[in-house]
Amino acid sequence: MRDSPLFLKQSAMRKVVWALGPAWLASLFFYGWISVFMTALSIATCAVTEWLFVRKKGGRISEAVFVTAILYAMILPPTLPFYMLVLGALFAVAFGKMAFGGFGANVFNPAMVGRAFLYITFPVYMTGRWMPAARFSDFPAGFTAWRFNGMEALTSATPIHAIQEGAGKSLPLLKLLTGSINGRFESLGQTLMIGGGSLGESSAVLLTLGGLFLVYQKVAKWRLVLSFFAAHVIFQAALHCLCHGPVQDPLTGLLTGGTILGGFFMVTDPVSAVRTEKAQWLYGSFIAVMAVIIRSFSLFSSGLMFAILLGNMFGPLMDLGIRSLGKGRKR
pLDDT in tens, 165-208: 554 445 556 666 665 554 444 444 444 444 456 888 778 888 99
* Whole-prediction pTM: 0.85
Q: Which residue has the higher pLDDT, 239 or 160?
A: 239
Ranges of each domain in the chain: 218-326
Is the separation of the CB atoms in 210 and 203 below 8 Å?
no
Can you tell me the mean pLDDT for 290-305? 83
The yes-or-no verdict on residue 137 having pLDDT over 90 is no
Q: Count CA within 13 A, CB hemisphere, residue 279.
A: 22
Can you tell me the mean pLDDT for 267-292? 93
User: 263 — phi, psi (to 5°)?
Assistant: -65, -35
Q: How far apart are CA 309 and CA 307, in angstroms?
A: 5
What count of other Cβ atoms lies within 10 Å of the Cβ of residue 148? 27
- Nearest Cα neighbor of 109 from 318, 298, 287 is 287
303-328 core/surface letters (b: 16 or more CB in 10 A; e: else): bbbbbbbebbebbeebbeebeeeeee
- What is residue 184's predicted lDDT score, i.e. its pLDDT? 44
